[in-house]
Structure 1
Amino acid sequence: MKCLLQRVSYAKVYIENKLYSQIDKGLLVLVCFCVNDTRQNIELMVKKIINLRIFEDNNKKFNFSLKDINGSIMLVSQFTLAADTKKGNRPSFFEAMEPNKAIEFYNEMIEQFKNNNIEIRTGIFGASMRIELTNDGPVTIMLEN
C-alpha cells in the first residue's frame, strides 16, 4: 500500500466539473492498494496517518498529529502511485491491486477512519477527478507498508 500525504489548508474534489467534496485543514491522502496488501496493511496505515506528527506547534516544530488538531482527511484513490517506470517511457501498473478488490479495501479504509472519529471526505473510486488544494508548508510525505 502506498499513501501520498499532503498537509493542506483545504482540498476540493471536482467530478464532471462539479464540486463533489471538500475539507479544510487536514490531509489529502492519495492511496494506492498493491497486489500483496492485506486488511492488516489498512489498519496499520490508518493508525500511522492519524498519529503522524506533521502539524506544527507554536514553535514551528512537528509536534501535532491529525487527531491533535482535529483535522480532516480527503481520501482519493490513485492507482498510478503503483507506476513502475524502470523500463521504457510508458509506466506499467502490475503492482496495483485489481479494481474489484481495491474498491473493497478503499471502503474499508474509509470505515477505519470513521471508526477513529476522523472526519473524512472522498472522491469516487475509479472516477476521473480534478483536485484543488493548498499544500500547507509545503509538507508532502510518502508512506508505504
Structure 2
Amino acid sequence: MTSAQPNGRILLQQCLSAKLMVQPATEDEEAKYVTINRGLIVYVCFLQGANMEIVEKMAKAALNTRLSDAKNGKLVSVLDLPGDVLIIPQATLGGNLKGKVMQYHRNINKEEGENLYRAFVDLCRKTVQGQEKSKDCDVKAGTYGNRQVFSTDTNGPFTHLIEF
C-alpha cells in the first residue's frame, strides 16, 4: 500500500557535460568541482518516511530510465549509453507552494537525509561499476547540505520528475 504523499523525488536530466562545485573557495584554497561528460544528472530529495527501500527504488529508476539518445536514435538508459552520472542533493524538490511562499515541512531531517543520500550515491556507484558497458563511466556526487554552483550543457532539457 502506498501513501498519498511521496517519500522521495528525483529529477532526471540528460546532459552532454556538467560541472558542480562541491566545496566553495576559502582564503587558503580554490573552490573544488566535480565534472562529468555525457550522461545523466540526478537531483535527489528525500521526504519524511523515506527509507532504504525507497533509496533502492530511486537508484534503480535513475539508472534504468531510458532518457538518452543512442546513435541509432532510440532512447537508452545511462547504463546502456554508457554515460557518466552526477548526483546532486536537492532539498528544494521537497517544497510545496503555499500562497506565494515555498514551504519545506515534508523534507526529511538533515541527518537522516544525509545518510540516505550517501546510501543512494553508494548504490549508484556499485551499480554502474558492476556493468561491463559502464566500467569506464564516472559517478560523481555533490555535497549534502551545501549550496552548490552548477553548470551544464544539454542537447535539450529533457527533464523528468519521478516521485516515490
Amino acid of the structure 1 residue aligned with 2:66? R
Once residues 58 and 122 of structure 1 are traced to their aligned partners in structure 2, the CA distance between those partners, rounded to angstroms, is 27
- Which blocks of at least 5 consecutive residues in structure 1 are unaligned? none
TM-score where L is the length of structure 1: 0.92
Once residues 55 and 99 of structure 1 are traced to their aligned partners in structure 2, the CA distance between those partners, rounded to angstroms, is 32
Alignment length (residue pairs): 143
Shift of 1:106: 0.4
1:73 pairs with 2:85 = yes
Comparing both structures, which one devotes a greater share of its residues to strand?
Answer: 1
Once residues 50 and 7 of structure 1 are traced to their aligned partners in structure 2, the CA distance between those partners, rounded to angstroms, is 11
Q: CA deviation digits over 1:54-113, x for unaligned, max 9?
A: 112334332x1111112111111111101110x221111011110000000000001101
SS in 2 for 1:41: helix
1:131 alignment partner in structure 2: 150
Q: CA deviation digits over 1:28-71, x for unaligned, max 9?
A: 11110000111101111111111111112334332x11111121
2:69 alignment partner in structure 1: 56
Change (3 A) 1:89 1:36: same
Q: Report if the CA contact (8 A) 1:12-1:19 is conserved.
A: no
Once residues 122 and 114 of structure 1 are traced to their aligned partners in structure 2, the CA distance between those partners, rounded to angstroms, is 10
Q: Report if the CA contact (8 A) 1:12-1:133 is conserved.
A: yes
1:9 alignment partner in structure 2: 16
4+ aligned runs moved over 6 Å, structure 1: none
- Which blocks of at least 5 consecutive residues in structure 2 are unaligned? 1-7, 26-30, 130-137
Q: Report if the CA contact (8 A) 1:2-1:143 is conserved.
A: yes
Superposed CA RMSD: 1.4
- Higher Rg: 2
Q: What aligned pairs does 1:16-35 form with structure 2 within 5 A after superposition?
A: 16=24, 18-35=31-48
2:94 alignment partner in structure 1: 82
Percent of pairs with identical residues: 24
Once residues 7 and 66 of structure 1 are traced to their aligned partners in structure 2, the CA distance between those partners, rounded to angstroms, is 9
1:111 pairs with 2:130 = no
Shift of 1:139: 1.2
